[in-house]
C-alpha cells in the first residue's frame, strides 16, 4: 500500500499519540460534568483549571477562555470586546487576515469604521500604510501572527510600537492559530487577545482558546449556564481540553521542520527553475518554519494538486476554510500577485512528523507532475 505523504499541515494536523492516549483516558474516566458538586465533578474541574493555568502561564495571559476553536476565539475577542464600546470608532485588520477575523470585522461596518490595511508583496502588513490609520478613534487592530497561506510572520512588535505611540488605548487582537508553539509570544509585550486552535498543533478538533490580557474586557457571545467565568456558556469539552494540553506538552522544544521545508524548496527550485515563491523568501526571518506557497505557471494548481494526490501526496491551494470558493485567493490578491500566478499556486505545509524521505518523494512527484502537464498547458 502506497504511503500517504501529508503536506497540508496548515489545514489540520494528525493527532499526536500522547493526545489520543490522554483523550481516551479522559473519555473513559473523566466523563463527569465539571459543574457537578460531588467529588468526581470537582476532580474534572481541577483538571480543566490546571490546563487553563498552564496555557495562561505559557502566554503570560491574565485570563483564558476555552472555545470550540480559533474561529470562535477570534469572534469572541472582536465582537465580545467591541460590544463594550458605545461610541463610533475605527476597527483595522490586515488584508491577509483569515476569514474568521476579516468577516467578523466586516460585520461591524454598520457600527464602526472598518478599514482593511494593505500588505506588501511578501504578505506583511504595510507599516507605512498602517501609521496614518492609527488615530485616537482607533478601537482595535487585528493582525495575525503567521499567515495561513504564505507563512509570512507579521511584524507584531513594530505594530505594537506604533499602537503605543499613536493610539495607546486601541486593543490589539492576534490570530495565533498558525503561530502558536511555532513562535514565542508573551501577552505582556502588548497583545490584548490571542486566539489559538488545538488541531493545528497535533491536538484535537473542536477545541481552542482565547487568551486575554489585562486590558481586555469581553462580553459573552454564547449564553446559558455561565461556564468559563460567564464568558462562554455550555458544558466544557473536557476531553478536548485534556487533548489540547497533551498536544502542548508533547510539542518538542526543538525540531527540524524548517530544515525539511528548505530541503523541499531547494530540490523543487533546482528541478523547476520557473517555480515562484509567494510570500517571504524561504530563508527570510519573516518566513515561518512550516509553510511555503509556490506557483508553477502555466500549470493550474488544481490540476497539479490532483496529480500529486494520485501519487499519494496531499497539498492544498490555500486556506482549507475557503478551498471550495471559486474566487481567487484573497491573500494572494492582496499581495498584488497576477491572476495567472494565483491560479498556479500551491501551499505546502510541514510538521514534525514530516520526514526527509517524505520531502524527497513529494518534491520528485511534484517535478514529475509538472513536467508531464507543462507541455499540454497553454496560455
User: Radius of gyration over alpha carbons of the chain, in Å?
Assistant: 21
Residue 113 and residue 137: Cα distance in Å, rounded? 9
The reply to whether 326 and 299 lie within a common domain is: yes
Running DSSP on this structure, what letter comes out for residue 180? Answer: B
Q: Is 22 exposed, middle or buried (0-12, 13-18, 19+ CB in 10 A)?
A: buried
187 within 8 A of 61, measured Cβ to Cβ: yes
The domain that holds 202 is classified in CATH as 3.40.640.10
Please count the structural domains in the chain.
Answer: 2
The reply to whether 274 and 188 lie within a common domain is: no
Q: Give me the tens of pLDDT residue by residue for the chain, a chain 379 residues long.
A: 678 999 999 999 999 999 999 999 999 999 999 999 999 999 999 999 999 999 999 999 999 999 999 999 999 999 999 987 878 999 999 999 999 999 999 999 989 999 999 999 999 999 999 999 999 999 999 999 999 999 999 999 999 999 999 999 999 999 999 999 999 999 999 999 999 999 999 999 999 999 999 999 999 988 999 988 879 989 999 999 999 999 999 999 888 999 999 999 999 999 999 999 999 999 999 999 999 999 999 999 999 999 999 999 999 997 655 555 667 899 999 999 999 999 999 999 999 999 999 999 999 999 999 999 998 776 5
The residues carrying an active-site annotation are 321
Long-range contacts of the stretch 192-195 (C-beta < 8 A, 24+): 192/81, 192/216, 193/77, 193/81, 193/218, 194/59, 194/61, 194/145, 195/70, 195/73, 195/74, 195/77, 195/100
Running DSSP on this structure, what letter comes out for residue 4? Answer: P
Residues 210-223 pLDDT 10s: 999 999 999 998 89
The domain that holds 361 is classified in CATH as 3.90.1150.10
- Distance between alpha carbon 224 and the CA centroid of its chain, in Å? 29
The reply to whether 240 and 198 lie within a common domain is: yes
The reply to whether 238 and 312 lie within a common domain is: no
The reply to whether 43 and 169 lie within a common domain is: yes
The reply to whether 201 and 335 lie within a common domain is: no
The reply to whether 38 and 159 lie within a common domain is: yes
Residue ending a domain, among 195, 229, 250, is 250
Q: What is the dihedral of CA 55, 252, 176, 196, to 10 degrees?
A: -50
The reply to whether 246 and 309 lie within a common domain is: no
The reply to whether 243 and 322 lie within a common domain is: no
Residue ending a domain, among 250, 270, 303, is 250
Residue ending a domain, among 220, 250, 280, is 250
The reply to whether 211 and 341 lie within a common domain is: no
The reply to whether 117 and 263 lie within a common domain is: no
- Residue 208's domain comprises 17-250
The reply to whether 170 and 132 lie within a common domain is: yes
Amino acid at each position: 500500500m502506497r504511503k500517504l505523504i501529508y503536506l497540508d499541515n496548515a489545514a489540520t494536523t494528525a493527532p499526536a499519540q500522547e493526545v489520543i492516549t490522554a483523550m481516551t483516558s479522559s473519555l473513559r474516566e473523566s466523563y463527569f460534568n465539571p459543574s457537578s458538586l460531588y467529588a468526581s465533578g470537582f476532580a474534572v474541574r481541577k483538571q480543566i483549571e490546571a490546563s487553563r493555568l498552564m496555557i495562561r502561564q505559557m502566554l503570560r495571559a491574565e485570563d483564558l477562555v476555552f472555545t470550540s476553536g480559533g474561529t470562535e476565539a477570534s469572534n469572541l475577542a472582536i465582537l465580545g470586546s467591541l460590544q463594550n464600546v458605545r461610541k463610533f470608532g475605527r476597527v483595522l485588520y490586515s488584508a491577509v487576515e483569515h476569514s474568521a477575523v476579516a468577516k467578523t470585522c466586516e460585520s461591524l461596518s454598520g457600527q464602526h469604521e472598518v478599514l482593511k490595511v494593505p500588505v506588501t508583496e511578501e504578505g506583511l502588513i504595510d507599516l507605512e500604510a498602517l501609521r496614518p490609520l492609527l488615530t485616537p478613534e482607533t478601537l482595535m487592530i487585528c493582525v495575525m501572527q503567521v499567515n495561513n497561506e504564505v507563512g509570512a510572520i507579521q511584524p507584531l512588535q513594530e505594530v505594537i510600537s506604533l499602537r503605543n505611540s499613536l493610539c495607546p488605548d486601541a486593543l490589539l487582537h492576534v490570530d495565533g492559530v498558525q503561530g502558536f508553539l511555532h513562535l514565542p509570544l508573551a501577552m505582556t509585550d502588548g497583545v490584548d487577545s490571542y486566539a489559538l486552535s488545538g488541531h493545528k498543533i497535533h491536538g484535537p478538533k473542536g477545541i481552542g482558546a482565547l487568551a486575554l490580557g489585562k486590558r481586555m474586557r469581553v462580553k459573552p457571545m454564547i449564553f446559558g449556564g455561565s461556564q468559563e467565568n460567564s464568558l462562554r456558556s455550555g458544558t466544557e469539552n473536557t476531553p478536548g481540553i485534556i487533548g489540547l494540553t497533551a498536544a502542548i506538552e508533547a510539542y518538542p522544544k526543538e525540531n527540524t521542520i524548517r530544515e525539511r521545508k528548505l530541503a523541499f524548496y531547494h530540490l523543487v527550485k533546482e528541478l523547476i527553475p520557473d517555480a515562484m515563491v509567494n510570500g517571504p523568501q524561504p530563508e527570510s526571518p519573516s518566513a515561518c518554519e512550516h509553510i511555503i506557497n509556490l506557483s508553477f505557471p502555466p500549470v493550474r494548481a488544481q490540476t497539479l494538486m490532483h496529480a500529486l494526490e494520485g501519487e499519494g501526496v496531499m497539498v492544498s491551494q490555500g486556506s482549507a476554510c475557503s478551498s471550495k470558493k471559486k474566487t481567487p485567493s484573497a491573500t494572494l490578491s492582496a499581495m498584488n500577485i497576477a491572476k495567472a500566478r494565483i491560479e498556479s499556486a500551491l501551499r505546502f505545509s510541514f510538521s514534525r512528523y514530516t520526514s526527509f524521505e517524505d520531502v524527497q518523494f513529494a518534491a520528485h512527484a511534484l517535478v514529475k507532475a509538472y513536467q508531464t502537464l507543462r507541455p499540454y498547458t497553454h496560455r
